[in-house]
Structure 1
Amino acid sequence: MKKHNPLLQDLKAILPAIAANAEHTEQLRKVPQENIDLLKQVGLHRAFLPKTYGGLEISLPEFTDCIAALAGACCSTAWAFSLLCTHNHQLAMFPKETQDEVWKDNPDATACSSIAPFGQYEEAEGGIRFSGDMRWSSGSDHAEWAIVGFNRQVGEQKVYCFAVIPASDYQIEDDWHAMAMKGSGTKTLQIRNVFVPERRIQVAKDMMEGRSAGFGLYPDSKIYFTPYRPYFASGFAAMSLGVAERMLEVFREVTRNRVRAYTGARVGAATPALMRLAESTHQVKAARAFLEATWEEHKEHGERHEYPSRETLTYWRTNQAYAVKMCIQAVDRLFEAIGGNNWFNDKEAQRLFRDVHMTGAHAYTDYDVCAQILGRELMGLEPDPSLL
């Protein structure tokens, strides 16, 4: 039996307003400020904020339930805001001095990101000077900080690192013109020769293995003795699930009273519609059960202050990718039979169809990659660095 989730209950009260804003969100190509304000009013942005700064430190299953529900109302909003939330978990692994910079005077502050290591840098006294056009930064219009990726030369090796940069040090290029997640505001950060002190730089691998500067700052916490990446990526599968669950509802609403234009036949009572709805319902319920079991493992490891094995990490990532694949299949099965009227831009079903496919387009949820990762693990082969 699930524990009561007060944050989810508060969130549900504002979802009708966010759903009503969904078409406007797409037209705006970013999350409207009113959506951000509503979500901050219920405190969702504080889900992974340390309690020291007034955060909630809720469990991953509680958070993903919230994101799934939010995605059912507006996946663009969920995509951007989920990342603004999960970046707090990542920032909690930076030194205390950095955390104070971000949150001490403004505990409502959030960070966007562009973590692929495409940034360029030069070594400087006390840090680096960073430059780059950092793409794919969702929710950047509403963030006070950015986490950006780069490969730093350390001896003979290139080491994947993150740098934290204030919004005052970059420009946002308004270049997000996409066919899905249209309102996520996933824009490009233009960064030019910005000084980043060492206290705002961390090694990615350290954040996966409990060696980051912030490790152990919160000994009573149940969520910070965990690798950063599963928390960072958890929202993608949660959003896919939320969209698929909403599609089940929309299909029933649209199909129940639909009649065929040329024959007058009732579609909602026809065997093909019933079978499609039944199979997609089973598939979505299976995806939820699979994800909940996976997220519960995340929670239990954090509560025990136990870092997962390589095998466990492999399952955590690939389980979520497979669940996304199931959700996409479930939505496709329904959309291809929901009728031509639902291809109009003002229909919810076509937006759900577009957005669910985007949830499977992220590097973390690409199942072609994930199947290879799991296959190698199952066969006892060493990980292929090109697949990570």
Structure 2
Amino acid sequence: MMHRPNPLLDKLQEILPRIAENAAQAEQDRTVPEENIRLLKSVKFHRALQPKAYGGLEISLPELTDCIVAIAGACGGTAWAGSLLATHSHQMAMFSKQAQDEFWAEDPDATASSSIAPFGKVEETEGGVLFNGDMKWSSGCDHAEWAILGFLRNGENGEKIYSFGVVSRDDYEIEDDWYAAGMRSSGTKTLKIKPDTFIPEHRIEAAKDMMTGKSAGFGLYPDSKIFYAPYRPYFACGFAAIGLGIAERMLEVYRNITKNRVRAYTGAKVGHATPALMRLAESTHQVAAARAFMEKTWDEHKAMSEQQRYPTDEQLAFWRTNQAYAVKMCIEAVDRLFEAAGGSCWFSDNEAQRLFRDSHMTAAHAYTDYDVCKQILGRSLMGMEPDPTMV
């Protein structure tokens, strides 16, 4: 498929074959190989959304997502973990200048993993909070120097304020508990936070403030084209991009498998049969539609940021749910091909079964749960207030 001009994507194309070669070992190790991280850093992928003030690239969201799509075609887990390490820089740019200096001043290559579901507990203390708890689902944590944690703190009127706090690698240990059916190579492990870890106030931001231009870091980069934007759409778009990259790769794998496949009992050429042609055609159309749909959405993100306009609640509802619908289409396209690819594709060393498993994992994230997203969009279309129980 044709891609828009993208210098970072051009550099990535040179290293993707090696990342693809590492995919089987990455699954076995249940984490992204160190070599893959070194390769991504060699082209500065991890700096894609980092402020230029610290040496970052500050590329647009469409440029970033095109890169994530390409990485996912080589290794879904590497794309999952690597994209989060990169997109967290966009979120970090919304924290205070003091927090950013602590994060990047001495190590401009530093990245953060995250665990943002509010599993942990905090106790208010002078100058910040004391954090306790184990934080699951931290993709790419093996390769990060920091972590962004989600938690609830009490507001002035007793309301719960969903917030983020940044802690250093010294504040937690990693529990190697990632035994999953999909995205095995993402290294999505548990962070065991040390008891009573202190998070200073300058490293805490309310999620709502990051969605409305009220965070401490807002306005630090007035000439930037990417930081005049809510954090969540940038954070969430990677999941749909990964689903798209896996589906596009599945089209290639299916063609290669089916082209010369002969049925063992009859000798019939499967690739010349009408059902195989029809399945390939429909999945190709579906994946192309998913790409076009997401590119339109990503372009809207870019345009709004460049115009220094924040999206309306209706736009946010569409942006959030568009990606989930695109993931749904991509999974349907992958399933259509995999179910007719033959018994050999179920062997663990066959790429097709890895793509099948990883594809379904892209719909397992809270932001791509389409049952939730249908309710979010439906309420918006009917003019109803957002349901706070649906993140």
Partner of 1:226: 229
- Cα deviation, 1:282-305, whole Å, max 9, x if unaligned, reads 000000000000000000001011
2:272 to 265, 269, 272: 269
State how 1:290-301 maps to structure 2 within 5 Å. 290-301=293-304
The aligned amino acid for 1:172 is I
Instruction: Output the aligned Cα RMSD.
Output: 0.8
- Cα deviation, 1:148-179, whole Å, max 9, x if unaligned, reads 01000113111001000000110000000001
Partner of 1:365: 368
State how 1:2-13 maps to structure 2 within 5 Å. 3-13=4-14
Partner of 2:16: 15
1:158 to 160, 163, 187: 160
Distance 1:206 1:188 in 2: 27
Which blocks of at least 5 consecutive residues in structure 1 are unaligned?
none
Partner of 2:338: 335
Distance 1:77 1:246 in 2: 15
Partner of 1:383: 386
- Normalised by the size of structure 1, how large is the TM-score? 0.99
Partner of 1:186: 188
The aligned amino acid for 1:167 is R
Distance 2:364 2:119 in 1: 19
Partner of 2:290: 287
What SS is found at the alignment partner of 2:26?
helix
Distance 1:123 1:129 in 2: 6
Distance 1:172 1:319 in 2: 34
- Cα deviation, 1:133-157, whole Å, max 9, x if unaligned, reads 0000000000000000100011311
Partner of 1:348: 351
State how 1:80-95 maps to structure 2 within 5 Å. 80-95=81-96
Identity %: 69
What SS is found at the alignment partner of 1:55?
coil
State how 1:118-129 maps to structure 2 within 5 Å. 118-129=119-130
How far does residue 121 in structure 1 lie from its aligned partner after superposition? 1.2
Is 2:82 aligned against 1:108?
A: no
- Normalised by the size of structure 2, how large is the TM-score? 0.98
- Cα deviation, 1:228-259, whole Å, max 9, x if unaligned, reads 00001111000000000000000000000000
How far does residue 340 in structure 1 lie from its aligned partner after superposition? 0.2
Runs of 4+ in 1 over 4 A off after TM superposition: none
The aligned amino acid for 2:174 is I
Distance 1:275 1:294 in 2: 29
The aligned amino acid for 1:79 is W
Distance 1:124 1:369 in 2: 36
Distance 2:161 2:388 in 1: 13
Distance 1:378 1:102 in 2: 41
How far does residue 2 in structure 1 lie from its aligned partner after superposition? 5.9
1:176 to 175, 178, 181: 178
1:325 to 328, 349, 370: 328
What SS is found at the alignment partner of 1:319?
helix
What SS is found at the alignment partner of 2:57?
coil
- Cα deviation, 1:181-228, whole Å, max 9, x if unaligned, reads 001100000012111110000000000000000000000000000000
Distance 1:247 1:306 in 2: 37
What SS is found at the alignment partner of 1:292?
helix
Distance 1:46 1:78 in 2: 15
How far does residue 3 in structure 1 lie from its aligned partner after superposition? 4.3
